[in-house]
Amino acid sequence: MYEKLNILDEKDKRLRMISKEVKFPLSDEYKELIKKIIDELTYSQIEELAEKYDLRPGMGLAFPQLGINERIIVIVHEYEEGKFDNYVMVNPKIVSTSDEMIAAELGEGCLSVNRDVEGHIKRNARVTVEGFDEDGNKIRVRAREELSLAFQHEIDHLNGILFYDRIDKNKPFYSPEELRLI
């Protein structure tokens, strides 16, 4: 029987905390939770399963969204219809970024924010992220476009930042001439 994750709502103060570095080895409980997160994010991006389990579409989740104040993020990226890459990163750090800035044309969403929030979030078009896999091996991911946005969004969660904190109150929208919208 599939059981939905209990994702915290934006009003929960725990989402505003800075998460702690994770110590290895990861517990079996954490490894099991990571598997559940991957399943739920995958199901949420497959229309019939999203409907069946009443899931909002999402491609990333950070442990703080589950009330666990530790630096672990999971991203499930659908790179082609029905084909997914899973990224699990422990203690992730952005080590380099592109100068080029982009934004999601329709804005960003978040599984902890159960409402529409209007506005563009300027983010780096490309990022290189270093961290560790579940077994403590050092890993490095170069992400571009949509995947780059997802890494920046999830790492923000580890620092107590919600996406709408990054919307410029004086200029919430950009034209395609001002910023590349994807």
CATH for 33: 3.90.45.10
Quote the CA–CA distance of 122 and 168 in Å, as a whole number.
9
Q: Is residue 88 part of a domain?
A: yes
In one-letter notation, the amino acid at residue 55 is L
User: In terms of residues, how long is the chain?
Assistant: 182
Measure CA 87 to chain center. 10
What are the pLDDT digits (tens) for 125-157?
A: 999 999 999 999 999 999 999 999 999 999 999
Q: Is 29 an annotated catalytic residue?
A: no
Q: Is residue 37 part of a domain?
A: yes
Angstrom distances, CA of residue 84 to CA of 40, 76, 94, 105 = 13, 6, 22, 22
Closest CA to 141 of 149, 156, 155, 131: 131
Half-sphere exposure of 139 (CA within 13 A, CB side): 15
Q: Is residue 84 part of a domain?
A: yes
Q: Is residue 151 part of a domain?
A: yes
Q: Which of 70, 134, 154, 177 is catalytic?
A: 154
Phi first, then psi, for residue 148 (nearest 5°) are -60, -45
Asked if 163 and 156 count as a contact pair (C-beta separation under 8 A), the reply is yes
Q: Is residue 8 part of a domain?
A: no
Q: What is the domain range of residue 120?
A: 25-181
What are the pLDDT digits (tens) for 81-135?
A: 999 999 999 999 999 999 999 999 999 999 999 999 999 999 999 999 999 999 9
Q: Is residue 68 part of a domain?
A: yes
6 pLDDT exceeds 90? yes
Q: Is residue 136 part of a domain?
A: yes
% residues pLDDT > 90 (the chain): 98
Asked if 73 and 62 count as a contact pair (C-beta separation under 8 A), the reply is yes
Instruction: State how many domains the chain has.
Output: 1
Q: Is residue 108 part of a domain?
A: yes
The answer to whether the predicted template modeling score (pTM) of the entire model surpasses 0.95 is yes
Q: What is the DSSP string of 43-109?
A: HHTSHHHHHHTT----SEEEGGGGT--B-EEEEEEEEETTEEEEEEEEEEEEEEE-S-EEE-TT---
